[in-house]
Structure 1
């Protein structure tokens, strides 16, 4: 049984590659999807499709529409969502994706460091499980197959 895992979270570090590599090493039957990781493409996709927009607000709105559609399609096709909250970057998109997973009744694994326990307490309470590391999240997925 293969599972599709949506990897929500910041796109500036290599946590996704680390998790994917470790899943392959463990021979777990997982496929991965997630947000657009090319930041420039994500920001420009609205104009790429609709043409130059009159200002940055409308440009951002056009890009958001396309990105939200992409996220909705991929998340609905996923079996489980992992949402990683790191300490360095703003996490608005991660919070939105985690909330969408909860709304869609998708199993949610939340990864957050100890320093974010308090700010994420309500979201953590709604997740199926909260862990602190990518390795722990992978252990949860591996347990499904035991």
Structure 2
């Protein structure tokens, strides 16, 4: 059995690559999907498809349309969603993706530092598992394959 795991959350560090490498090192049958990690492509994709927009608001709007399509398709196909909330960046997309996962009835692993316990308390109560590090999330995924 191969799992599809959607990795929701900020794209400004290498947490996704850490999970990919860790899963590969453990020989876990997991295929990871997620948002476009090339930030420039993510910001430009709407104009690449629909043409130049009159201003930054419309540019963001058309990019969001395409990026939301990608998110919805891969999240619907996912067996599990992992949503990472970090300390450094505003996490609007992560919150939206975690909420979508719950609305789609997808099992959710929430990664958040202890310092975000209070602002994420309601979301944490709806997740199947709350951990503080990507490594802990990987440990939970590995456990699924134990006989």
The interval holding the TM-score normalised by the smaller chain is over 0.9
CA displacement 1:9-43 (0-9 Å, x = unmatched): 11010111111111111111100000011111111
Q: For residue 95 of structure 2, what is the aligned residue in structure 1? A: 95
How far off its partner does 1:56 sit?
Answer: 1.1
- Unpaired runs of 5+ in structure 1? none
- Structure 2: how far apart are the matches of 1:89 and 1:139? 25
How far off its partner does 1:57 sit?
Answer: 1.0
How far off its partner does 1:5 sit?
Answer: 0.4
1:110 to 2:110 alignment: yes
1:46 to 2:43 alignment: no
After superposing on structure 2, the runs of 4+ consecutive aligned residues of structure 1 that deviate more than 6 Å are: none
Q: For residue 7 of structure 2, what is the aligned residue in structure 1? A: 7
How far off its partner does 1:143 sit?
Answer: 1.1
Q: For residue 77 of structure 1, what is the aligned residue in structure 2? A: 77
Listed as ranges, the matches of 1:113-128 within 5 Å are 113-128=113-128
- Structure 2: how far apart are the matches of 1:18 and 1:84? 13
CA displacement 1:50-107 (0-9 Å, x = unmatched): 1111111111111110100010001111100000111011111011110000000000
- Structure 1: how far apart are the matches of 2:123 and 2:141? 20
Q: For residue 55 of structure 1, what is the aligned residue in structure 2? A: 55
- Unpaired runs of 5+ in structure 2? none
How many residue pairs end up in the alignment?
146
CA displacement 1:81-135 (0-9 Å, x = unmatched): 0001110111110111100000000000000000000011111111111001111
Q: RMSD over aligned Cα, in angstroms?
A: 0.7
User: What TM-score results when the alignment is normalised by the length of structure 1?
Assistant: 0.98
User: What TM-score results when the alignment is normalised by the length of structure 2?
Assistant: 0.97
